[in-house]
Amino acid sequence: MARNIMKVKETKDRYDVTYMAGDDSGFDMMEGALLVLEAMNLPINWHRADLGWCMWEKSNKKFGEGDPRCNTVPPETIKSIRDTDATLMAAITSKAGVKGFKSAILQMRQLFDLYINIRPAKKLPGIGTPLAKDPDIDIVMFRENTEDLYAAVEFFPLPKEMFDLHKGMDRFREGKGDVAVSWRVFSEQGCERIIRAAFEYAKATGRKTVHCGNKANVIRQTDGMMKRKFLEIAKEYEQYGIKAYEENADATAMWLIKNPQDYSVVVASNVFGDILSDEASQLTGGLGFAPSGNIGVDAAIFEPSSGSVPKYAHQYKVNPSAMIMTAKMMLEYLGLDEDAAKIEKALGEVLVENKPGTLTYDVLRDFRGDPDWEKNAASTIEMATAIAQKLNPEFKGEKLEAAKEKVHKMCAWDEASLIGFAD
């Protein structure tokens, strides 16, 4: 029997987990998430690693700008991910136009073949949608994570021989100025395994529909492959009562707004999956509530879809919900399903109760209509504390303060605390 890739390889009494606090406000969000987990007394041994812009800067200081050893991902981080059962990662910062810079998460996806990017978009209690009907929404997006335009096969300036590869390049030979090309790479294996993962998830969770958003009507070779494999694999799951719907990705984008309640599991290529999942997240509270997981055969890295919000770095203003729900996904992967369900329930209760000093500025501004949202906003840690105390009412006083101090040290952002690029 094939292993369920959505679960950890080996069930244990205690798990080793790598945590990476990311960049900028990522440190704040990770601190909040760890505080919530600390209240639960989970069977987890934590191992710190670092990556992202902070490590790019550290490596440039150590080796000098332009040195090939400069990277966003140190060797120590790669080893830690390999040696542990799962990885919890906060948001990181990427900057365009920096010579030699490579995205840390793109490197991780390729290095560990994390071909599944699973992005839930679920309406939480107390969080309305921007839609007039305010429908219940519970969508799980399966995005192919290693191919497509994000495979990073690009050319600029363009070698002359590239113009001879396809007659469609003839019109770019003269008079068009510089030409850049990004290859849209699909493989049958890549299409099949993400599609099968989506159907297997639907089967395991009792969901009855799987949609595939594509543009096979225009991008006939690559998305044509995606459509063909989807229809082939769908036949295998008819016996489980799962209905398959194949449609243009732009139609998916439209219907997600018009009738989001009709969608349950959605599978798409890397680029379309990225766009559609961000759209779905906006229907369920925005990126501040959007978790995600990157899963492969030998590793799993869980990261929020929310950004690192550099303008609020280390100010503890940002909403920790996406990071906390990402931790919930990681617990599900480890088989700690009851604990995971408790986290979602606790977050929902805090959102509904709307007590003073428990909700961050974005929740007060966007979902409570509080005209004094800046003054009344809770900090990242205050909101996390409210959630933690729902999980453990005894988590207060000296116990709470000790836990706060512990997770603050775990997420220290000074250069001396960053792990990587050792001598």
Q: What is the pLDDT of residues 270-280, one digit of tens each?
A: 999 999 999 99
Per DSSP, which regions of 53-126 are E strands?
86-89, 116-122
Q: What is the pLDDT of residues 405-423, one digit of tens each?
A: 999 999 999 989 999 998 5
166: pLDDT strictly greater than 80:
yes
Task: Return the percentage of the chain with pLDDT > 70, whole number.
Answer: 98
- Write down the pLDDT at residue 167: 87
The answer to whether residue 292 sits within a structural domain is no
Residues 211, 324: one domain? no
Instruction: Output DSSP code: residue 293.
Output: E
- In the predicted model, what is the mean pLDDT of residues 132-157? 90
pLDDT band at 118 (very low <50, low <70, confident <90, very high): very high
- Residue 352's domain is classified under what CATH number? 3.40.718.10
Q: Which of the listed residues 284, 317, 347 is the one where a domain comes to its end?
A: 284
Residue 313 CA to residue 290 CA, distance in Å, equals 19
pLDDT band at 353 (very low <50, low <70, confident <90, very high): very high
Residues 138, 264: one domain? yes
The answer to whether residue 403 sits within a structural domain is yes
Cα separations in angstroms, 35 against 77, 300, 390, 423:
23, 22, 12, 32
The answer to whether residue 42 sits within a structural domain is yes
**In 3-state terms, what secondary structure has residue 266?**
strand
Instruction: Output DSSP code: residue 285.
Output: T
Judge contact between 122 and 138, C-beta under 8 A.
yes
313: pLDDT strictly greater than 70:
yes
Residues 253, 312: one domain? no
- Rounded to the nearest angstrom, the gap between the alpha carbon of residue 74 and the centroid of all alpha carbons in its chain is 21
175: pLDDT strictly greater than 70:
no
Residues 306, 378: one domain? yes
Strands 15-20 and 300-302: unpaired
The alpha carbon dihedral of 398, 401, 407, 412 has a sign of: negative
Residues 61, 105: one domain? yes
The answer to whether residue 201 sits within a structural domain is yes
Closest CA to 289 of 256, 326, 255, 260: 326
Residue 311 CA to residue 314 CA, distance in Å, equals 9
The alpha carbon dihedral of 201, 203, 207, 212 has a sign of: positive
- Rounded to the nearest angstrom, the gap between the alpha carbon of residue 5 and the centroid of all alpha carbons in its chain is 17
- Rounded to the nearest angstrom, the gap between the alpha carbon of residue 312 and the centroid of all alpha carbons in its chain is 20
Residues 267, 231: one domain? yes
Residues 218, 342: one domain? no
Residue with tokens 């209905």: 243
Strands 138-144 and 116-122: antiparallel
Closest CA to 275 of 144, 90, 394, 377: 144
Cα separations in angstroms, 329 against 89, 244, 306, 342:
12, 25, 15, 12
The answer to whether residue 62 sits within a structural domain is yes
Residues 321, 388: one domain? yes
Per DSSP, which regions of 116-236 are E strands?
116-122, 138-144, 154-155, 181-182, 209-214
Q: What is the pLDDT of residues 199-253, one digit of tens each?
A: 999 999 999 999 999 999 999 999 999 999 999 999 999 999 999 999 999 999 9
Judge contact between 389 and 382, C-beta under 8 A.
no
Q: What is the pLDDT of residues 181-204, one digit of tens each?
A: 899 999 999 999 999 999 999 999
Instruction: Output DSSP code: residue 123.
Output: P
The answer to whether residue 9 sits within a structural domain is no
The answer to whether residue 240 sits within a structural domain is yes
- Residue 217's domain is classified under what CATH number? 3.40.50
Judge contact between 38 and 67, C-beta under 8 A.
no
Q: Which range, of 3-7, 250-254, 378-382, averages the lowest pLDDT?
A: 3-7
How many distinct structural domains can be found in the chain? 3
- Write down the pLDDT at residue 135: 82
**What is the 3-state composition of the chain as percent helix, strand, coil, each rounded to the nearest 5?**
45, 15, 40
Longest dimension (CA), the chain: 73
β-partners of residue 138 are 122
Residues 243, 169: one domain? no
96: pLDDT strictly greater than 70:
yes
Residues 239, 139: one domain? yes
Residue 278 contacts by C-beta under 8 Å, 6 or more apart in sequence?
287, 290, 305
266 token code pair: 């959605």
Residues 306, 423: one domain? yes
Residues 238, 220: one domain? yes
pTM more than 0.85 = yes
Q: Which domain holds residue 165?
A: 149-183
The answer to whether residue 2 sits within a structural domain is no
Judge contact between 280 and 265, C-beta under 8 A.
no
262: pLDDT strictly greater than 70:
yes
Write b or e for each residue in 211-240: b if 16 or more Cβ atoms lie within 10 A of its Cβ, otherwise e. Answer: bbbbbbeebeebbbbbbebbeebbeebeee
- Write down the pLDDT at residue 193: 97
